[in-house]
Homo-oligomer: A and B are copies of this chain.
Amino acid sequence: MMHINEEEERTRDSWPTCNVKCGIDQMAKMRAALFVERGRIVLDEKPIPDIGPLDALIRITTTTICGTDVHILKGEYPVAKGLTIGHEPVGIIEKLGSGVSGFKEGQRVIAGAITPSGTSNACLCGCGSQDGAGTRHGWKAMGGWKFGNTIDGSQAEFLCVPDAVANLAPVPDGLTDEQVLMCPDIMSTGFSGAESGSVRIGDIVAIFAQGPIGLCATAGAKLMGATKIIVVDGVPERLEVARKLGADHTINFNKFDAVDEILRLTDGRGVDVAIEALGTQLTFESGLRVLRPGGTLSSLGVYSTDLRIPLGAFSAGLGDNKIVTSLCPGGKERMRRLMSVIEGDRVDLTPLVTHRFKLDEIEKAYDLFSHQRDGVLKVAITP
């Protein structure tokens, strides 16, 4: 994902920080996972963030590591040196900016990985993930993604949440940190795969890749009424979890040709919606190849190369097909809705949390997670 947004890159060295003094001891330090250089994310000390009038300071109680963080670790996605990584916070409001109302200190909250300002042209169009607050036109590609990208992130003891009124979402009583830990990114992104694909009652849906996001796409497709859900992965354990979350058929691509198998399972018809949840040419292309005429490919993956659309799989442009992409929807209303899914017992995502670490052990957690060892899906990190 390098060179996507040159303007953004130019400003990486001077990312904005919260600039108003926070009430807690301003000299106090905290521990945080910092990007140092390609291949190195280390736990280090840095000052507890100051917050501005529209911000909130959150004391992190649980956070996690995302595949995107691994891209950052590997130097595949550039961020400023010294930036705190992470974009999936669960915590307690420590301090509210002077302009923040409707919340109170001590409240347990989450914030989405994407933190729309609510006030840009993009936000006012319902497209907060592309929030261009402060830009000339109000749109910025991926502009809503700030935590661990353009401002300090959540793998730390404290986190400054920008535009707090739009982004703090109180956690319902009775839900544990781990129960809502997937809401900020994994669940929001995965579900958006089904939503952007406009899954309808009775749809046949295929989902390519069953990592955490793909698994949530599976759950989302089921939640929207798909009646035949076919998932593809190469890891048997992931396919097992997929079954729990709603998959009717699982295909291990090490044993079967996924496209052939899906066409066989649909008796040659193809699927109404294919969801791509990895970010490779193969999964993208396979998604196109299994679509029925008029079907939709909903793409969630972060690609790292140009993509090729095969002429035949695209019906030469005449198949009434759609390709839609989504970046994790954020904002407090989105978080509220996702937590209501958990609270209403519609989906249980706790099987995704396979490992637990203290913040002190985060380097070990990165090592495990980045090498996908020991059947890891997601790790819970607790400061």
Smallest beta-carbon distance A70→chain B, Å: 15
Whether A312 is near chain B, meaning CB under 8 Å from some CB there, is: yes
Question: Does A238 lie at the interface of the complex (its beta carbon under 8 Å from any beta carbon of B)?
Answer: no
Interchain CB contact under 8 A, B141 and A99? no
Count of chain A residues with a beta carbon within 8 Å of a chain B beta carbon: 100
Q: Which residues of B contact A279 (CB under 8 A)?
A: 316-317
Residues in B whose Cβ lies below 8 Å from that of A265 = none
A320-B124 in contact given A308-B307, A308-B308, A315-B141 (Cβ < 8 Å):
no
B-chain residues with CB within 8 Å of residue A124 when the two chains form the complex: 116, 118, 128, 166, 331-334
In angstroms, how far is the closest chain B Cβ from the Cβ of A282?
A: 14
What are the residues of chain B within 8 A of A314 when measuring CB–CB?
A: 303, 307, 325
B134 with A101: CB separation less than 8 A: yes
**Cβ of A228 under 8 Å from chain B:** yes
Question: How many copies of the shown chain assemble into the complex?
Answer: 4
Residue pair B140, A293 in contact (C-beta under 8 Å): yes
Q: Tell me the smallest distance from the CB of A181 to a CB of chain B, in Å.
A: 18
Interface contact A300-B327, CB-CB below 8 Å: no
Residues of chain B contacted by A319 (CB below 8 angstroms): 130, 141-142, 325, 327
Chain B contacts for A102, CB-based, 8 A: 133-134
A344 near B227: Cβ-Cβ < 8 Å? yes
Q: Could you say which of A25-33, A38-46, A251-259, A335-343 contacts chain B?
A: A335-343
Beyond A4-B316, A138-B333, list 11 extra A-B contacts (CB 8 Å): A1-B316, A4-B315, A53-B53, A99-B99, A118-B123, A123-B166, A130-B320, A139-B292, A139-B293, A201-B337, A225-B341
